């Protein structure tokens, strides 16, 4: 990953108050900026795709194809979808991510490279399991489902009344263990990859 300083939009120096808070902008992202980045699906997919690549660098073309494939569910993606994705990445999303120091986008060569500040964003991305379902919602559903299953066994409900309560508890604990492993394992792999690169 690259160390990418944030780039500020070009301004007329004569018209700027150098004592203003905007001129002493921090290199870390504010929570509002992080949520603004993650509010857009194509930016999320860009960051996800870059995180999953070996060296954190891709071409704009391959990135557009990967995102268009995910959006359309077709491989190869239809040309209008691919062109729409390419255009929005080139004109809007990649310049925004570059300005914030998340990626380095070279529009001349068409390369996109992940920057060191990307893990700051990745921390917020891991909140969601899939399709907007958060980990806390998944754990809540597992907890309620487990409680209902154990109660059904204890109250000898039809179809499950003859089962051993220990079996119900064991299955519930196993589901929690699988969910926790699914949440933590990808993060550990990313940390190992980052350590190997440095």
pLDDT tens digits, 118-136: 656 665 555 555 666 777 7
Distance separating alpha carbons of residues 168 and 174, to the nearest angstrom: 10
Q: Is the pTM of this model over 0.85?
A: no
Cα gap 143→173, rounded to integer Å: 10
Q: How many residues does the chain have?
A: 198
Mean pLDDT across the stretch 74-94?
A: 93
| pLDDT single digits (tens) 26-35 | 457 777 787 7
In the prediction, which pLDDT does 7 show? 52
* 18 Cβ contact partners less than 8 Å away, ≥ 6 residues apart: none
**Distances in whole angstroms, Cα of residue 115 to Cα of each of 66, 120, 147, 174:** 20, 10, 44, 37
Scanning the structure block, which residue is given the tokens 């700051």? 120
């Amino acid at each position: 990953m690259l160390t990418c300083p944030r780039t500020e939009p070009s301004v007329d120096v004569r018209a700027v108050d150098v004592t203003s808070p905007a001129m002493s902008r921090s290199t870390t992202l504010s929570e509002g900026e992080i949520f603004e980045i993650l509010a857009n699906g194509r930016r999320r997919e860009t960051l996800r795709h870059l995180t999953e690549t070996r060296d954190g660098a891709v071409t704009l073309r391959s990135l557009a194809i990967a995102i268009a494939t995910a959006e359309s569910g077709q491989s190869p993606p239809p040309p209008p979808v691919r062109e729409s994705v390419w255009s929005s990445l080139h004109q809007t999303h990649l310049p925004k991510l570059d300005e914030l120091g998340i990626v380095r986008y070279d529009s001349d060569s068409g390369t996109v490279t992940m920057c060191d500040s990307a893990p700051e964003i990745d921390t917020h991305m891991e909140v969601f399991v899939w399709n907007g379902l958060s980990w806390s919602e998944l754990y809540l559903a597992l907890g309620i489902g487990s409680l209902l299953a154990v109660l059904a066994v204890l109250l000898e409900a039809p179809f499950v009344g003859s089962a051993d309560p220990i079996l119900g508890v064991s299955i519930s604990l196993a589901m929690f263990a699988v969910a926790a492993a699914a949440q933590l394992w990808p993060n550990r792999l990313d940390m190992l990859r980052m350590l190997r690169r440095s």
